[in-house]
Amino acid sequence: MTLTVNPLQPESGELLGADPHEPPSPALIAAVEAAMAGFAVVVLRNQAIDDDEQLRFARAFGPLELPPHWGLPGNTRPRVGHGLYDISNLDENGALLAPDSVQYASNKANEEFHTDSSFNELPTKWSMLSARVLPPAGGDTEFCDGRAAYDALTPELQARAEDAIAEHWYWNTRGTSIYRTITDDMRRAMPPARHPVVRTVAGRKTLYLGAHATHIVGWPRVDGEHFIAELNAHTAQPAFRYRHVWRAADLLVWDNRCVLHRATGFDGTRYERDLRRATVNEYGAEVSSTDAPGVPAPGDG
């Protein structure tokens, strides 16, 4: 097996020669780790894999963050394999989501630049998204590189960011625009988490914010909100952005610690878009990201 990495843009790459149908070899694991250290967004082409193959490939790089159970057996919506996030506009029966459904509205919230699960105490390492069914147009995914964005800050802004701790909250993007009210049970189920605004990943400093970030700990609320908005807008500039136009059977891997991403629109009332995500943590046991808000896990209570 010959593995080759072709740059797509300065901060993204294409890995050729991988075969996730087979158990990941040490050479493949090393090649993917090296590509991710350099590019942070890497696509493996023509990977028509099933759920079990995707999960096996993801587990080669760390423990999985399991999806919230949402009150359903199998720790995920039952349409996809146990351990995968269902990133689709389909319900549990495979029908298109109703435009007035909570899940449809939640999908629309993913059109803001964010990093997966920054609202958890243990933020994720990588996301691996497999394209199973694509719409005829639209539904691209955009990425912004927080490393390049940090490098382009003035020294004064870099120093200010390095001393800052941001609070991230799930309900900041899934709040009253989706749910009428945020109940105490919902707050308890998904409490906020705090993370440094600047992280170091593979030897490079990077901004770590996105749409889940609400404020800066210890700052006047309005000052922190303005600072987050300023840095998010800076990171989202076209100079730091890569737009991934999906091809059938793409397997796209990105580092949540140093890139923001967002979905782009398509006609979800007419066309299916079925992608499935494995989410890899840096360390620890495989655990569900959260409990569902106010919904006991199967077998509880």
Residue 264: closest CA among 250, 244, 278: 244
CA distance 289 to 291: 7
221-235 and 155-162 helices, crossing angle to 10°: 120
- Tracing tokens 């404020």 back to the chain, one arrives at 215
249: left (phi over 0), alpha (psi -120 to 50) or beta: left
CATH number of domain containing 281: 3.60.130.10
DSSP, res 96: B
Residue 63: closest CA among 78, 86, 83: 83
- Residue 205: count of CB within 10 angstroms of its CB: 18
Query: Which residue numbers in the chain have pLDDT < 70?
Result: 1, 69-78, 176-177, 290-301
Give 84's strand partners: none
Q: How do 12-16 and 85-88 pair as beta strands?
A: unpaired
CA distance 228 to 209: 7
What are the tokens at 183? 């109940």
- By three-state DSSP, how is residue 158 classified? helix
Residue 106 lies in a domain: yes
CA distance 57 to 122: 21
Residue 116 lies in a domain: yes
Q: Are 287 and 67 in contact (CB under 8 A)?
A: no
Residue 274 lies in a domain: yes
pTM of the shown model: 0.91
Q: Which helix (H) or strand (E) holds 152?
A: none
Count of structural domains within the chain: 1
209-226 burial string, b = 16+ CB within 10 Å, else e? bbbbbbbbeebeeeebee
In this predicted structure, what is the pLDDT of residue 293? 41
In this predicted structure, what is the pLDDT of residue 2? 73
Residue 171 lies in a domain: yes
- pLDDT tens for 83-108 read 999 999 999 889 999 998 888 888 99
What are the tokens at 126? 């990588």
Residue 130 lies in a domain: yes
In this predicted structure, what is the pLDDT of residue 77? 53
In this predicted structure, what is the pLDDT of residue 69? 60
Domain ranges, residue 44:
4-288
- Residue 296: count of CB within 10 angstroms of its CB: 11
Q: Are 268 and 51 in contact (CB under 8 A)?
A: no
Residue 299 lies in a domain: no
In this predicted structure, what is the pLDDT of residue 84? 94
In this predicted structure, what is the pLDDT of residue 260? 98
- pLDDT tens for 101-141 read 888 888 999 999 999 999 998 879 999 999 999 999 999 99
Residue 243 lies in a domain: yes
